[in-house]
């Protein structure tokens, strides 16, 4: 499966979808996450963290000012936020290449801010449908992503 789409009905649904992805993830998964401000990227990231067994205290928040937060669970979550990225070299300076496809799950918010392509397994775009409802479009970028999308489609309730 190259593409899978679904909708969520609010923040808890969005977190549940993220938890499902986090629970299915294995080491080396790279997820690129895009959407407008308020689309639900951080809610989704919180769910992914929950699926990885990351403690909810302190809560996972968007690392907008630090660009990277590392959370420890079943697998480490390397949570990048490129919203404030000023130049392409910033990501390399953070050691992105050392984290991506390593021993944890790498999740990159605002991935479309990078001028160059990032290697990834799954790219996700989130779109506002209503005040609470969001549309998620998942695109597989490699064989690992194809497998993950098939699992998500099987395990997530139809929308």
pLDDT in the model for residue 68: 81
CA separation, residue 126 to residues 14, 21, 48 (Å): 10, 15, 15
Query: What local confidence, expressed as pLDDT, does residue 89 receive?
Result: 57
Q: Is the pLDDT of residue 136 over 80?
A: yes
pLDDT, greater one: 152 or 59: 152
pLDDT at 87: 55
Query: What is the DSSP pairing of strand 122-128 with strand 134-140?
Result: antiparallel
Unique residue bearing structure tokens 């993830």: 25
Domains annotated for the chain, with CATH where assigned, are: 3-155 (3.40.50.300)
CA atoms of 148 and 61, how far apart (whole Å): 25
If you average pLDDT over every residue of the chain, what do you get? 87
Residue 61 pLDDT class (50, 70, 90 cuts): confident
Residue 21 or 100, more confident: 21
- pLDDT of residue 154 exceeding 60, the answer is yes
pLDDT at 55: 87
pLDDT above 90 (res 56): no
Residue 91's pLDDT is: 66
Q: Model confidence over 4-49: pLDDT tens digits? A: 999 999 999 999 999 999 999 999 999 999 999 889 999 999 999 9
pLDDT of residue 100: 77
Q: What is the pLDDT of residue 46?
A: 95
Q: Is 153 exposed, middle or buried (0-12, 13-18, 19+ CB in 10 A)?
A: middle
The reported pTM is 0.90
């Amino acid at each position: 499966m190259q593409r899978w789409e679904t909708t969520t009905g609010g923040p808890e649904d969005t977190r549940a979808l993220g938890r499902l992805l986090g629970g299915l993830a294995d080491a080396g998964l790279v997820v690129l996450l895009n959407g407008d401000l308020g689309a639900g990227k951080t809610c989704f990231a919180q769910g992914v963290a929950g699926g990885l067994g990351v403690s909810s205290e302190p809560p996972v928040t968007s690392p907008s000012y630090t660009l990277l937060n590392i959370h420890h669970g079943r697998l480490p979550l390397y949570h990048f936020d490129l919203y404030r990225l000023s130049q392409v070299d910033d990501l390399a300076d953070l050691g992105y290449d050392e984290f991506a496809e390593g021993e944890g799950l790498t999740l990159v918010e605002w991935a479309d801010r990078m001028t160059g392509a990032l290697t990834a397994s799954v790219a996700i775009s989130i779109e506002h449908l209503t005040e609470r409802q969001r549309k998620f479009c998942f695109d597989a970028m490699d064989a690992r992503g194809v497998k993950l999308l098939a699992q998500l489609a099987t395990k997530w309730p139809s929308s």
